[in-house]
Structure 1
Amino acid sequence: MRQKNRIASAIAVALTICACNATAQDAAQAQSGQADAAKAKQMDAVVVTGSHIRSVDVETSQPVYTMDRKAIQATGLTNVSDILARMPSIGTPDITPQDTLSSGTDVGGRYVDIRNLGSMRTLVLVNGHRWSTSLSGLTDLSTIPVSLIDRIDVLKDGASSVYGSDAIGGVVNIVLRDHLDGAEFNAYYGQNEQGDGQQKNGDFTWGHTTKKSSFILSASYQDEQPMWDRTRAITAYPQGPRHPDAGWGTGPWGRVIDPNTGRSYVINRGNTDTANIANYHPYNSASTYDKYNSNQDMTFRAGTSLKNLFLQERYRLTDDITLHGAASYSSRNTSSQLAGYPFSWALDPDAYYNPFPGEETVFARRTVELPRVTWSNSRLTHLDAGAEGQFTFLSHDWNWDANYTFAQTRIRQISTGNLYLPHADNAINAIAGPNGQPVCADASDGCTPWNILAGPGATPTSVLNYVNYVGTARQMSQTDDASVNVGGGLFDIPKGGTVNIAGGLEHRREKGYFTPDPNDAAGLTTNLASEPTRGRYDVNEAYLELDAPLLRDLPGVQELGINLASRYSHYSSFGSTTNNKYSVRWRPIEDLLIRGTYAQGFRAPTLADLYSGTAQSFETFLDPCDSVYGAAASNPTVAARCVASGVPASYRQIDQSGNPITSSAGGQTPTPFADSSNPNLKPETSTTRTYGLVYSPHYAEGLDITLDYYDIRLKNAIASVDASDVLNYCYIENMPSYCSVFTRNGNGVITQLVEGLYNLGTLTTTGYDLGIHYRLPETSFGRFRISSDSTYLTKYQTTSGPGAVPEDVLGFMDGNQAMYRIRSNLQLDWDYRQFGASWTIRYYSGLKDSCYSVNPAIECSNPGYTNPWIGGFGIAQKGSLAFNDAQVRYTTPWKGVVTLGVNNIFNKKGPFYYNVVQSGTGSPPYGPDFDIDRFFYLQYSQKFSL
């Protein structure tokens, strides 16, 4: 074990030393071949992501990572979010295609998360303008076709002073191609070694460019087939391949509770005489015979298909004025499946199938005949129109632009496999008819008696059709955004440069609604109930940015400049906020740039945060009143408060199976709790500090080294006060206001609880980005380039609210997030005539995880370790991991390019993590960023001259 750790550490150090960013020089080279006659006059101005100042003399004082088309194609990936996920500074998005149990209309989309701060704290731009967001503030990147992307800029710094809300973690600016003369066709096919997860993509782009006009039309289609939990050992069982007999849930054979003794019994398999208790056997919670492995019925990754149509026109009205417009329409279908519902209900005393006649009898049974399938269709319409130009003022060049953006997303979500409770109750509680046979008490609606306790195979199709419910929910979100910007040179500083200024105004309206299925909302189905959402807010903003090159070409000061920016924002929902940014750049010698930034940021509450209706969810929590694992077991004050509120002194919290919890990790509530919004929320606020250097030695042309430090501090974080926090605030922190949001029954069991949103949390994260990029001199063997980038995380600390213990989860598998201390990419790329190849290594450092809950002695490197936020079974140290990707390509004489690649070429498998929501219910159990399998792909690209 120690030898393996030394090897892993050596790999980590080697990759870190060799790490690099794609630098601004790469971006300039990527753009250098893109000039045409229509743009020639504008080549003296370059738009820099993270600034509104346009000047070739301005080099960003902030860390910007750029991926050009070649780097994008080298990944072998066809979705923007997957491409960005390869960056070490990108965390696991809030929702992934593997989040099968996640509910809501955002499921099925693809998102990005910079610095592990949450996808809603990453601003996504397309050509410098906001892309469409959902009611929850998430931006679906799958609606942006990869074939249209010219480059992707990722600003890893706060930018609210420049762009407004959401730019706390950073900004992703996707720059689309603005000209093409000819046509291109791309076809792609890939699949996992297991033979599933097929990806089929095709796109066709046609463009025509003249001195006056540049027109582009593109159509694309993407199809990703689903993957299933049952097809792989690591996802086939809830507790992983080493424990296939553990962690199974409610089975499909009727389990009843004796109303007199409280003992549970399960019907003997194959027996349909469920009214006779003699045909049952005692329920054994330790045996899989009476349980069910629901993973075998669940999708591991949802299937998705996407169609997109895009067109764009740029027209030079005069030498100084250009008109532009773009329209995009996409339609995405997503389908995922869960196992049948774990149905718990009660048989009436006179029910025909009741094994305890005369008594109301509670039963549980998973309806495996009706797997729960959710199908979503998301349609995005995005329109941009505007004009831009240039003029001379104060003897300097100035530019201006005016833009209007309309973005609307409509989502229709259809769910099947849930039960319509009035029908289910009518069929289950059939009574004895005149001839002694079961009949529905109300047969007027086509009811057929349902012997639900008999298990699979005993339920006729007519009954399933009668109780199955098809629910439909709809959502709309819309953004209207108008902006004007102007900027240019003010005056020249002797021995410095031109002082540039930029300013602008923006008005934005966000509105939307969510309409749940009426029967779901009324609680008449087994689907989670939610109430309608409807709201809107308006934003008026003004910004001013100044860039001043103070000194230049002096001993010890080859360049010294500052950049200042301020943005005022007024929201109709909460009021006003002003955010400032201060940046400095200093080049003591020609080869070295030193830079630093201090930025204030904010995130406005979303429409869902403010106005969403109450929704239901099943939460995992620890009740402090539990007499064995709760705080009451060791804290007499808490125990006294629990007893005073009516909780029995020997109270035990129960899980979904009705059994007492078995660890301090708590258990999932057997009844759904409620989530609510808060119209009084204030914005989140942040401060970001970055310090860095860029070293490009003149004696090694093509070599660039970057090193940046970041420190991000978030306050007033908007977060749901979950069940554990509510109970802790009530009993441990003695905050009576939280004691009124939940109720208990006579046994102390919590039957209702409301989880609300508050500005209570804080988050601090710090770390380093190290990069080295080296484009070697051309040799007789071709052109070589070595590149990589790495992130070294030094802190990730959160607090959830008053009295909460600060949690530094660095190096932990923390729920669905993996807090790697080191992530690193290393790539070698080679080109020789018509041939090319690349090799990429993706490295992830090891993580600490919970130990196996049933037996802490198994797979536990430190059984005595206690950590209040990861569970009470010690710590299991899981090792580091490296994935290798290879790609070869060939350019044909007829301008075609054939690419063959393999990702995860050595078929590496990650460890199973117990502190991740299990497969089928959240992120993958082997780590949310790890490859599930070896993946092969073949791509063909063809260019046509028209």
Structure 2
Amino acid sequence: MASLVGNTLASSVSVILSTMALALPVSAQEADGDKPVTLNSVEVTGSRIKGADMATQVPVLAITGEDLAATGLTSVGDILQQLSSSGSALNTKFSNAGNFGFPPDGSGVGSGSATLDLRHLGSGRVLVLVDGVRWVNESSASGVSGSVDLNTIPASIIDRIEILQDGASALYGSDAIAGVLNIITKRKQDGVSINSYWGTYPSLNGGTTTQNNISFGNSSDKLDLFADVSYVTQKAMHTREWARAANECIPGTGLANCSASSPYGRFRFVDPNTGVARDLTLNRDAAPGVPNYAGDFHDFTNADRYNYGPDNKLLTPSNRGAIFVSARYAVTPSTTWYIRGLYNNRRSRSEAAAQSLGFGPSGNTMATTISLAQDNIYNPFGFALDPQTNLISVNRRVVEAGNRVFEQDVDTYTLNTGFEGSFGFRDRSYYWDVNAGFGNNRASQRVTGTMNMTHVKKAVGSPSGCLAIEGCVPLNLWGAPGSITQEMLDYILFVEHDRSQNKIKALSANLSGSLFTLPAGDVNFATGIESRDYFGSYEPDALIVSGESNNVPSQPTRGRYDIREAYLELNAPLLADIPGIRALDLSLASRFSDYSTFGNTTNSKVGLRWQVFDDLTLRSTWAQGFRAPSIGEVYGAMSRFDATIQDPCSADAPGFAGVAAKCAALGVPNGYVQSGRQVGVQTGGNEALKPEESTSLTIGAVYSPSWAQNVGWADRMDITLGYYRIKLDGAIQALDAQTRLNRCVAAGDPNAAACENIVRSRTGDFAQFDNLLLNLGSIKTSGYDFGVNWMGPESAYGRFKVNLQGTYVAEYEAIDANGRVEPRTVGVELNNTGMPRLTANMRVGWALKAWDVDTTFRYISRMKESCAGAAGFPICNSASKAPNRPNGTHVLGRTVYQDLRASWKLPITLDMTVSAGINNLWDKEPPVCVSCSLNGFDASTHDLPGRFFYAQAGIAF
């Protein structure tokens, strides 16, 4: 490998030097005394070369500690999701710890986690660094994630955040396709600081959040020390407190889209005495005991469906405690040793409605083998229900067991240490560092309220067989709520225990400095090598693995891989101080990566920075990128995800008449009606996956007009405008399940490609629906970023400031391997994720002496979604159809939120500041989402309902 790395670097150097040689004949002037001084010790995200001019070389968005505090939020993930360039990502507002199943990438569901998505390309395509070093990936005891949980990084240790909105695989390697997030931690502090925060949603009786931290430090000539201890508590907010979400499973549709599994049961079978298919539920006024067939039953209707909405949560409760220590020691005047360590613990608790106990011929678990014995003492029918002959399905909501509870306990350990320094050689300065890092995310999950289906099988079987087994008690699924006794529950319930882990080990060494001098200035370089090792595992409960539980089935996952890398970056000043060119710089970078899983790859980047004059800088970069498939994507075993799907072959589906013949050809029996909107889709990894490859282009301008500096109406004004275009090939993802089913039905041929591994049982329900990960075609996206930052002058009335940041998504198109356009695009809500065409944030601030007041306006443009289960209801506000909206169109209106905050530095001896604020000042409710899985709104795009009030105080001494 060494020779291969050497050859690659040599080739890169040759190309770069040749490029510079071609540039030399162009006339250039010597730098004069007015040329800005280069601060070689400065390094910005997006370049390994140290230099002040590099800050305008690439599109980097900086967020200060003051900006973080102004949001009034305690989670770094929640803060970053308000960025205009941010897409939909996991956060604590989507309280799902696995009750819907597992995503196809094998990542699991971190209830209480928060991730970052840039450019709507997914959190796995964003590289997360902490102090320039990769952070360990998330773990949630439900999978092996390829993304970072930002809630493992306490907000109290952050000095600032830099976000590179550009591809950077040439500098940082895999994952940096959509951008790079670099969190820079605090290095030093003199004295002690104590901060306390409290916030709540008073109108919804919940969501109270507290954060307390104490930090201390000391600085001397040789030692900088910083330590921080923090604890965050976020309490639950229940859906039942918000009438819109609690009253209906999908707003505007009554009970039509609620669960077919109710506490009164739903029993579908063919009566062997009459040959008539029955679809029954127990009468609400049925007498206690064993009901009478058929007098105590009636035909099941939508009015009998179970509304699970009030049992959900709007906000996941969690506790996060962390200890962080950072020390830097000057071994010599030019060499520093540093060490950073963090321990973070997250405990979160998510709840879902009481478990539904169901069995029948559909599916692929042992529930397909369960029969109700004719002589079972609680059998009201007088005949057996056998999945091989007359049973279609039995479903009973076991409310006697209470809600399902998912409790996650996650420990995060990280340690990073190394040396950095500088030296001079032949009148040039060089900077070096060597670094070693380790991270471990270890999680356990405890799930209560689930059932052992082996015990259920025995309990509904022949009583003679049950009573011969110690502890077995016949089970009464057919009576009114309360008919399942504690003794019965003790036999069928079990406590599920799951575990997962993610580890990273990394070593790196870097060198940067000046190579030689051209007429326009120094040619600077950075080079380095890096080694990383990853390991991930997921171990579900043994009953889950065997399929003996009625919880979502999954299989264990385990995998590891390693990478060895080398890179080279050059920055060459081509021209300077000639008419029309204040400075013209060329940057080149190339990185070679050797993976144990798929081989090697080389990715390069070219950048051009043109400072037209002092006020105006233009920049552009072209970059290759790649993302290696994660452990979950490669080794993830088969698991189930309960996708919300409208089956076109259901007799009550919109447009059924037009596809009835095709459905019959697919084996769907006449009169089939889909019992519930949630369809179990089998997902999993794929060892044949190849890395994703991308190319990106950014073009931007930074204008800081001198006519707006130190004048009567402004101290400074900066205007930025940028264009981005990203083309991703071999995108790793699964086909949209609804789209795939629609294509299968449209084909009307069980042998069609879209129908592969979609198998129906004799009842018409899905016996198998596999939807594995693939290198699925391509994704193209482009758009514009814009910003204005204005700072007013000091005056007797204080100082005003305005900051505007926005993103306009011009294009997003996903195409599968067969050239067909996938449904996700700009201005569309799909699968609990929205892609607004325009998002923008404007912050207006005022400061006078001890006071700071600012207000922020957040704009989200409107979106469209398929009506899905709301088709035919008045809430489906447009009959227009499109390929990605086959059941009509529902419009999510544009949304504007306003936040308000004020802080006051007390006029006392102690250094103490108090702040208070209101987020969502005008109590704006999120727009209704009829295709979303929970609570009728997209929690990854819009705020929770209700005003959020908060107050905080900080004291330093």
Normalised to the residue count of structure 2, the TM-score between the two structures is 0.87
Aligned to 2:240: 230
Aligned to 2:94: 98
CA contact (8 A) 2:263 2:396 kept: yes
Cα-to-partner distance string for 1:247-285 (whole Å, 9 max, x where unaligned): 221210133234322112222235233352144232242
Asked whether 1:306 is paired with 2:320, we answer yes
Instruction: Give the percent of matched residue pairs that are identical in Structure 1 and Structure 2.
Output: 34
Asked whether 1:689 is paired with 2:693, we answer no
Q: How far apart, in 2, do the equivalents of 1:852 and 1:643 lie?
A: 22
Give 1:584 shift: 0.5
CA contact (8 A) 1:155 1:172 kept: yes
Aligned to 1:703: 717
Q: 1:862 to 1:292 in 2, by over 3 A?
A: closer
Residue number among 911, 929, 941 corresponding to 1:895 in the alignment: 911
Q: 1:616 to 1:580 in 2, by over 3 A?
A: same
Superposition map of 1:422-433 within 5 A: 422-429=454-461, 431=463
Aligned to 1:48: 44
Q: How far apart, in 1, do the equivalents of 2:650 and 2:301 lie?
A: 21
Code of the aligned partner of 1:689? L
Q: How far apart, in 2, do the equivalents of 1:826 and 1:854 lie?
A: 35
Asked whether 1:930 is paired with 2:930, we answer no
Aligned to 2:857: 841
Aligned to 1:36: none
Give 1:502 shift: 0.5
Residue number among 116, 125, 143 corresponding to 1:121 in the alignment: 125
Residue number among 622, 643, 655 corresponding to 1:619 in the alignment: 643
Q: 1:443 to 1:307 in 2, by over 3 A?
A: farther
CA contact (8 A) 1:156 1:169 kept: yes
Give 1:811 shift: 1.4
Aligned to 1:76: 72
Aligned to 1:460: 485
Aligned to 2:56: 60
Q: How far apart, in 1, do the equivalents of 2:904 and 2:643 lie?
A: 53
Superposition map of 1:441-460 within 5 A: 441-442=466-467, 444-460=469-485
Asked whether 1:812 is paired with 2:843, we answer no
Code of the aligned partner of 1:575? G
Q: 1:925 to 1:688 in 2, by over 3 A?
A: closer
Code of the aligned partner of 1:380? T
Code of the aligned partner of 1:916? C
Aligned to 1:523: 547
Aligned to 1:473: 498
Q: 1:132 to 1:759 in 2, by over 3 A?
A: same
Q: 1:102 to 1:582 in 2, by over 3 A?
A: farther
Q: How far apart, in 2, do the equivalents of 1:550 and 1:176 lie?
A: 35
Asked whether 1:647 is paired with 2:671, we answer no
Cα-to-partner distance string for 1:753-804 (whole Å, 9 max, x where unaligned): 3222111132111111110000111111112111120111111211243242
CA contact (8 A) 2:379 2:478 kept: no
Q: How far apart, in 1, do the equivalents of 2:777 and 2:373 lie?
A: 47
CA contact (8 A) 1:851 1:858 kept: no
Q: How far apart, in 2, do the equivalents of 1:341 and 1:806 lie?
A: 34
Asked whether 1:212 is paired with 2:216, we answer no
Residue number among 397, 405, 424 corresponding to 1:366 in the alignment: 397
Q: How far apart, in 1, do the equivalents of 2:420 and 2:167 lie?
A: 27
Cα-to-partner distance string for 1:419-454 (whole Å, 9 max, x where unaligned): 1112223333463xxxxxxx7723543233322221
Q: How far apart, in 2, do the equivalents of 1:754 and 1:617 lie?
A: 10
Cα-to-partner distance string for 1:103-142 (whole Å, 9 max, x where unaligned): 4353321111111110111111100110111432110111
Code of the aligned partner of 2:198? Y
Provide structure 1 residue ranges, at least 5 long, that are not aligned to the other structure: 1-41, 432-438, 658-666
SS in 2 for 1:674: strand
CA contact (8 A) 2:234 2:319 kept: yes
CA contact (8 A) 1:228 1:298 kept: yes
Give 1:883 shift: 0.8
Aligned to 1:577: 601
Residue number among 578, 582, 588 corresponding to 1:554 in the alignment: 578
SS in 2 for 1:426: helix
Give 1:613 shift: 1.6
Aligned to 2:587: 563
CA contact (8 A) 2:899 2:920 kept: yes
Aligned to 1:774: 790
Q: How far apart, in 2, do the equivalents of 1:229 and 1:327 lie?
A: 38
Code of the aligned partner of 1:383? L
CA contact (8 A) 2:499 2:538 kept: yes
Superposition map of 1:677-756 within 5 A: 677-701=685-709, 702-721=716-735, 723-724=737-738, 741-756=757-772
SS in 2 for 1:58: helix
Give 1:533 shift: 0.8
Normalised to the residue count of structure 1, the TM-score between the two structures is 0.88
Aligned to 1:23: none
Q: How far apart, in 2, do the equivalents of 1:267 and 1:789 lie?
A: 57
Q: How far apart, in 2, do the equivalents of 1:105 and 1:653 lie?
A: 33
Q: How far apart, in 1, do the equivalents of 2:704 and 2:819 lie?
A: 49
Residue number among 281, 286, 302 corresponding to 1:266 in the alignment: 281
CA contact (8 A) 1:591 1:698 kept: yes
Q: How far apart, in 1, do the equivalents of 2:580 and 2:462 lie?
A: 91
Give 1:291 shift: 2.0
Superposition map of 1:798-877 within 5 A: 798-807=814-823, 809-851=825-867, 853-854=869-870, 856=872, 858-863=874-879, 865-873=880-888, 875-877=889-891
Aligned to 2:34: none
Give 1:369 shift: 2.2
Code of the aligned partner of 1:539? I
SS in 1 for 2:776: strand
Q: How far apart, in 2, do the equivalents of 1:366 and 1:473 lie?
A: 24
Identify the range of structure 1 (171-180 vs 925-934) with the bigger mean alpha-carbon deviation. 925-934
Give 1:227 shift: 1.2
Aligned to 2:952: 939
Cα-to-partner distance string for 1:277-313 (whole Å, 9 max, x where unaligned): 14423224232xx221111112222111111011111
Superposition map of 1:266-285 within 5 A: 266-269=281-284, 270-285=286-301
Cα-to-partner distance string for 1:532-580 (whole Å, 9 max, x where unaligned): 1111001011110000111122211011111111111111111111111
Provide structure 2 residue ranges, at least 5 long, that are not aligned to the other structure: 1-37, 102-107, 139-143, 360-370, 386-390, 710-715
Asked whether 1:416 is paired with 2:453, we answer no
Q: How far apart, in 2, do the equivalents of 1:807 and 1:474 lie?
A: 35
Superposition map of 1:125-144 within 5 A: 125-134=129-138, 135-144=144-153
Asked whether 1:318 is paired with 2:328, we answer no
CA contact (8 A) 1:409 1:477 kept: yes
Code of the aligned partner of 1:932? P
Give 1:745 shift: 3.0
Q: How far apart, in 1, do the equivalents of 2:428 and 2:752 lie?
A: 65
CA contact (8 A) 1:625 1:647 kept: no
Asked whether 1:375 is paired with 2:375, we answer no
Cα-to-partner distance string for 1:335-376 (whole Å, 9 max, x where unaligned): 101101222234222212222213326532111222111000
Give 1:857 shift: 6.1
SS in 2 for 1:699: helix
Aligned to 2:265: 254
Give 1:643 shift: 6.5
SS in 1 for 2:501: strand
Cα-to-partner distance string for 1:59-117 (whole Å, 9 max, x where unaligned): 33221111111111111111101111111111110465414245435332111111111
Cα-to-partner distance string for 1:592-615 (whole Å, 9 max, x where unaligned): 111111111111100011112211
Give 1:462 shift: 2.4
Q: How far apart, in 2, do the equivalents of 1:855 and 1:731 lie?
A: 19
CA contact (8 A) 1:353 1:429 kept: no
Residue number among 582, 589, 599 corresponding to 2:613 in the alignment: 589
Q: How far apart, in 2, do the equivalents of 1:617 and 1:72 lie?
A: 35
Asked whether 1:296 is paired with 2:292, we answer no
Give 1:809 shift: 2.3
Identify the range of structure 1 (362-371 vs 95-104) with the bigger mean alpha-carbon deviation. 95-104
